[in-house]
Amino acid sequence: MEPAGEEEAWREGASSPGAAAPSALGLAFSKILRRLTGRPARRRDARATAVKDLGALLEATACERLFARSGGARRKMPETLGEVAKALEKYASPPREAEARGDAAGPEVAARAAEVGALFLQLLSKVEAARSAPGELCPEWRAGLRRLAGPAYVFAVTHSLEQPWGSPSSRDVAGEVLAALLRVTDCGSVAGFLRGENQEEEGRLPVILGLLKPSLNKESWKNNPAVKHVFSWTLQQVTRPWLTQYLESTLPPSLLISDDYQTENKILGVRCLHHIVLNVPVADLLQYNRAQVIYHAIFNHLYMPEYHLIEAVLLCLLDLFPVLEKAQHWTGDAARPTTHCDEVLQLILTHMEAEHRLLLRRTYARNLPTFVGRLGILSVRHLKRLERVIVGYLEVYDGPEEEARLKMLETLKVLMYYTWPRISCRLVVLLKALLKLICDVARDQNLTPEPVKNALLEEATGCLIVLDHCCQGQVKDLLARILLSCEDSTVVSCIRQVHQDCDSMPYHGM
């Protein structure tokens, strides 16, 4: 058909569905698809016009014509609709420069998203109508839904997330598209849509990952700034045991995003890797040395002075350590081998000793008790450096919430519990540090809120009690001399609390 005749046939199909030639509908969709993806699509006005024409065509076409089974071009209608849906999703996606321009690209992308979202709602409403029609009228609706579901999902997630290229209206439309998609697929949640609602039903995650895969390689993953967010959000919806079968498709993109130079992308990638560690069995993570690959990929991030990144890395490592330790075997006839946890703690303590930035100090301090608890008695290997770090952090005011000091007191208590035979030789240093802290808090009249002061005094008193048990009552004897000369009521109250608790629980060994 010549272009003029094709245009005439399209107009017939748009204005009078019943009178159109059998192949006119397919030709009309094919022409719009070429205008969205072909050479003329480089002009924005050409694509915008094609989108408006598509809306008019869908409005004028009954679902019986979209999903009927007949010869000619109609036989390929599900495939054509799928290609149109992919083109619409790409048309609404933010350009690469949206990351650099920030909010400047937002209104333009949001306007396109609202327009495309309305078309997706039209398409899904046609599927819903075809589904409720008698089977002989719309037998191809299932094939059409399979082609539409993936692009509709990618579009909905892209524009429903809080990102610079969105707006309240575009997010609302995207949310409606996602709700309509779940409704027409009979899925109660996004997780059910991705993994399948039951064992007999195949999930749609392979289709989604297949759509994202061309944009998730080393050369192209930054061409669309939304792809990484869609992948990350989708990955978070799939949990154990379903994630295992998609490990080969989800681990490489997660490593790729984590390996970027931008801190934001590093954090996103580490969170994806953390989700994989939590939701994939140990045996699968150890196979092909995957756990070691993850460990080495994120260990180097610990050298970055970004507290958000450090927090994400430490949380991921703490859940990765049990996996890595499964591959180690200790026979009991030799010293225990150094673990990955030892390696990370050694680096953390090195950074903590010289760190002066409050946010990083708090991040390290927040995770230190967990590391000591994770090593248990093996934390004795790091006892000297732990002592220096704890004493040093207890001396420095940490702001109104005193998070670092509180976490240091918690760390000290856990450390004394596991390494109590080595504590008595450190009695003088630890006792001075705890008493100095109590005196500083007692004299602080303005900076620290009362609830925080009370928490500090309570934790410090608890540490004195544990220290007394580790040192077989020596702390109680030394504090008895202070009571004779101390005039501060707060300090005296703490010392008396130590005496009372130590007298009620005499030392019998740890």
pLDDT tens readout for residues 221-270: 888 899 999 999 999 999 999 999 999 999 999 999 999 999 999 999 99
pLDDT at residue 15, rounded to an integer: 42
Q: What Cα–Cα distance (Å) separates residue 203 from each residue in 37, 57, 190, 242?
A: 29, 31, 11, 10
> Which of 175-184, 373-382, 432-441, 491-500 shows the lowest mean pLDDT across its residues?
491-500
Q: Is the pLDDT of residue 9 over 80?
A: no
Rounded distance, CA 350 to CA 346, Å? 6
**pLDDT tens across 283-331, in order?**
999 999 999 999 999 999 999 999 999 999 999 999 999 999 887 766 5
Query: What's the average model confidence in pLDDT over 426-453?
Result: 90
Element (H, E) at 372: helix 358-375
Query: What's the average model confidence in pLDDT over 110-134?
Result: 88
Rounded distance, CA 460 to CA 435, Å? 8
Looking at per-residue confidence, does 132 or 187 come out higher? 187
Rounded distance, CA 54 to CA 119, Å? 8
Which residue matches tokens 């003329």? 40
Looking at per-residue confidence, does 509 or 488 come out higher? 488
Which residue matches tokens 């430490």? 314
Q: Is the pLDDT of residue 213 over 80?
A: yes
pLDDT at residue 388, rounded to an integer: 96
Rounded distance, CA 477 to CA 369, Å? 29
Please provide the average confidence, as pLDDT, over all residues in the chain.
85
pLDDT at residue 141, rounded to an integer: 81
Give the burial string for 132-162 (b: 16+ CB within 10 Å, else e).
ebeeeebebbebbbebbbbbbbbbbbbbbbe
Torsion sign across C-alpha atoms 458, 462, 463, 465 = positive
Q: Is the pLDDT of residue 492 over 90?
A: no
pLDDT at residue 237, rounded to an integer: 95
Name the percent of the chain lying above pLDDT 90: 55
pLDDT at residue 287, rounded to an integer: 93
Q: Is the pLDDT of residue 334 over 70?
A: no
pLDDT at residue 105, rounded to an integer: 60
pLDDT at residue 133, rounded to an integer: 73
Helices 427-443 and 474-485 cross at an angle (nearest 10°) of 40
Backbone φ and ψ of 268, nearest 5°: -60, -45
Rounded distance, CA 221 to CA 218, Å? 6
Looking at per-residue confidence, does 132 or 122 come out higher? 122
pLDDT at residue 300, rounded to an integer: 93
Let me know if 98 is exposed, middle or buried by CB neighbors in 10 A (0-12, 13-18, 19+).
Answer: buried
Q: What is the DSSP letter of 338?
A: P
Give every CB contact of residue 30 below 8 A, 6+ residues apart in sequence.
Answer: 73, 80
Q: What is the DSSP letter of 421?
A: G
> Which of 80-94, 260-274, 351-365, 485-499 shows the lowest mean pLDDT across its residues?
485-499
**pLDDT tens across 179-211, in order?**
999 999 988 899 999 988 766 567 899 999 999
Where do the H-state alpha helices sit in 395-449? Answer: 403-418, 427-443
N- to C-terminal Cα distance for the chain? Answer: 92
Show me where the domains of the chain are located: 239-316
Query: What's the average model confidence in pLDDT over 128-133?
Result: 81
Read off the pLDDT band of 19 (50, 70, 90): very low
Omega of the bond leading into 241 within 30 degrees of 0 (cis): yes
> Which of 64-68, 210-214, 346-350 shows the lowest mean pLDDT across its residues?
64-68
Rounded distance, CA 393 to CA 411, Å? 11
Per residue, the 3-state secondary structure of 311-322, as one string, reads: HHHHHHHHHHHH
